[in-house]
Chain A
């Protein structure tokens, strides 16, 4: 049975899973969840995803949610096909985990906060909290200075090979750029890395929506 991806066609977290599926050449069936109608809060949904969030997968009866957990599961299950996205050597694994954790704590809070303030809050009838957006931008800027140092010594975040950790940056990075906030171009190593990962065929295939 083909893997089922339950999500929203343009949702950042749904795209985070989709880019991994594409990179690993894993066929999947996309089942849209109507967020605007509140389908993600309905009991039929929360029975599978108790937080009422997209996406989740059904892989032959195994239900899994949290986009990064799904990405890791796919990359491990299909290790021998498509692009290798998880290292196997213990030292390389440690550096991968360092990079993956860096994305969750030194990138995601700022870019997802900016995405909310500058784009998504408006879709739900809210407005931009300018002070918060400014604060988040300042914090993101400082973090990307550290990224520029790291990426001046190696091609990707975990070393010289691409890993899941790099790909996980794509969805929110793209939203923030889309609303006109560019903290990448002014930092040469970050700019090089962003251009590299965002021009991959797997991302091009899904970035406009599944």
Chain B
């Protein structure tokens, strides 16, 4: 069984849990006590040198970085559950394009926004509102591009869902919960796509906890 070392509400932990649900891969969540700084203990950093969650232990095979874990699990069980990464060279190229879009044209802006507006206040810190305004302005331009892409095809890599679409869910959901849903809802194609991926049973199963 895959042991998922993480935190139930962590965005990155929930991405791995989501892939496990999509692929019908049984997993056991091993709770890492972030509040006590367990992720910085030598026993943890021996497996994850950056002191971050999650990492997996798949029958002795240790891997970290949620996107890497997601890809590893998707490729290990290609014919089980939803197919998440195409194998045809052209389709794979377009998948890689979409995966890179998620990292650099979405999460790069959404993650720091939610860090400022959601995670900092939880730790008693004040958000940097100027930075949030700056990031949001840049994100709006990116979302216009998403709307253009999704006006021509159903999902980011083409007409089938891939891991690239699913990778938007954890941070995107916190972003919506923080009051920014209008950024997606005000753009028709983006809105359609967001409704589609965020209502997948696999996501609904883990969105409130891995």
Contacts and interface: CB of A to CB of B under 8 A. Distances in A.
B201 interface: no
B90 to A, nearest CB: 6
B96 A68 contact: yes
B92 A76 contact: yes
A146 B90 CA distance: 35
Contacts of A106: 50
A28 B75 CA distance: 32
Interface stretch (B22-30, B100-108, B176-184, B190-198): B100-108
B97 A66 contact: yes
B65 A69 contact: no
B65 A66 contact: no
A109 B107 CA distance: 11
A66 B104 CA distance: 9
A200 interface: no
Contact of B72 (A62, A73, A94, A105): A94
Contacts of A90: 75-76
Contacts of A91: 61
Chain B interface size band reads 20 to 34
A98 B52 CA distance: 13
Given A51-B145, A66-B97, A105 B65 contact: yes
Contacts, number: 79
A76 B99 contact: no
A101 B96 contact: no
B149 A150 contact: no
Output the residue of B51, B65, B92 with the most chain A CB within 10 A.
B65
Interface of A: 46, 50-52, 62, 64-69, 72-73, 76-77, 90-91, 93-95, 97-98, 100-102, 104-106, 108-109, 143, 146, 149-150
Interface of B: 49-51, 61, 63-68, 71-72, 75-76, 89-90, 92-94, 96-97, 99-101, 103-105, 108, 142, 145, 148-149
